[in-house]
């Protein structure tokens, strides 16, 4: 099955999301990126007009192939409401039609757009976060590397939920959880093949596999969340340890017994306490950059 065929099959089976969190307003926008445009959805929280809000630029998961702003609409609403933040969800171009590093470049372009549009969006450019789940965690990490390397927007933090960081698929947790739960080594190897395409691994490699970055110094403070029963657990833990060793303030949360994808499954009662802890950790990042 090709990437587009698999994407269509998954989308056809996706149930509608109900009981969505109420937010103040949403707007769908189009953003110019390299060689084209991408969509984004902006979520505005409830609150008085004229108040500058923090902003979270969010990159959805889905193995670089699946999902979109609709699949993660419920999570973005919950995040905007919990944090009182503007959330910009990026509808980046997906593999295999658009191999690496297209999606990461799209994420960086939307980040720059959001900061440039700070007055219209009503955001506080001193409180800008980048976040993502799974493959989106990869793209969020790379977006932060791009901002550092290109002298881009100053970031208050990065939030990486069970991020995909390395195509090796050979860590201890890949061995332990090769055939489940919910995520498997075989699936991850397929996702990487779609994303890398014919080029194998474009250079510089850290813009595709941030886990292989030579230096993580100078990156924004991080919250790294991993699931205990997930092939990706080891690389998430290692990335958090490397960030801390590089002098980056880092919080690593390992949720034993939970599986890949738990944070965005809003109906999963077992993940509710982990989500509340996530909102608390992200709020702390934002408060560290709030004006006195």
The Cα 270–Cα 61 span in angstroms is: 20
The Cα 104–Cα 141 span in angstroms is: 9
Catalytic residue among 71, 80, 89, 134: 134
| Cis amide linkage into residue 68, ω under 30° from 0 | no
The Cα 105–Cα 111 span in angstroms is: 10
The Cα 81–Cα 108 span in angstroms is: 24
Could you tell me the sign of the dihedral formed by the alpha carbons of 5, 6, 8, 9, in that order? positive
The answer to whether the CB of 30 falls within 8 A of the CB of 39 is yes
Is 280 annotated as catalytic? no
Long-range contacts of 4-12 (CB under 8 A, 24+ apart): 4/96, 4/97, 6/65, 6/66, 7/65, 7/66, 7/94, 10/66, 10/67, 11/66
The Cα 201–Cα 207 span in angstroms is: 9
Burial of 94 (0-12, 13-18, 19+ CB in 10 A): buried
Within 10 Å of residue 249's Cβ, how many Cβ atoms? Answer: 14
Angle in degrees, 0-180, between the axes of helices 73-83 and 272-288, rounded to the nearest 10:
50
Active-site residues, by number, are 134
């Amino acid at each position: 099955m090709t990437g587009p065929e698999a994407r269509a099959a998954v989308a056809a089976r996706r149930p509608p999301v109900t009981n969505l969190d109420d937010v103040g307003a949403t707007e769908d926008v189009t953003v110019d990126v390299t060689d084209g445009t991408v969509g984004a959805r902006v979520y505005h929280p409830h609150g008085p007009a004229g108040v500058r809000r923090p902003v979270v630029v969010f990159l959805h998961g889905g193995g670089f192939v699946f999902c979109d702003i609709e699949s993660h609409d419920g999570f973005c609403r919950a995040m905007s409401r919990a944090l009182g933040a503007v959330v910009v969800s990026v509808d980046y171009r997906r593999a295999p039609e658009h191999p690496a590093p297209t999606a990461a470049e799209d994420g960086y372009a939307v980040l720059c757009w959001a900061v440039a549009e700070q007055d219209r969006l009503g955001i506080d450019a001193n409180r800008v976060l980048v976040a993502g789940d799974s493959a989106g965690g990869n793209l969020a990490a790379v977006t932060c590397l791009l901002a550092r390397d290109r002298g881009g927007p100053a970031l208050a933090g990065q939030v990486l939920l069970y991020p995909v960081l390395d195509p090796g698929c050979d860590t201890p947790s890949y061995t332990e959880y090769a055939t489940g739960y919910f995520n498997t080594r075989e699936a991850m190897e397929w996702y990487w093949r779609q994303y890398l395409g014919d080029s194998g691994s474009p250079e510089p490699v850290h813009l595709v596999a941030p886990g292989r970055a030579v230096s993580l110094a100078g990156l924004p403070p991080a919250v790294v969340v991993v699931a205990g029963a997930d092939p990706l657990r080891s690389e998430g833990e290692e990335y958090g340890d490397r960030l801390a060793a590089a002098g980056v303030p880092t919080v690593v949360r390992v949720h034993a017994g939970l599986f890949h994808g738990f944070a965005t499954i809003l109906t999963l009662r077992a993940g509710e306490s982990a989500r509340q802890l996530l909102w608390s950790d992200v709020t702390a990042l934002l408060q560290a950059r709030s004006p006195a």
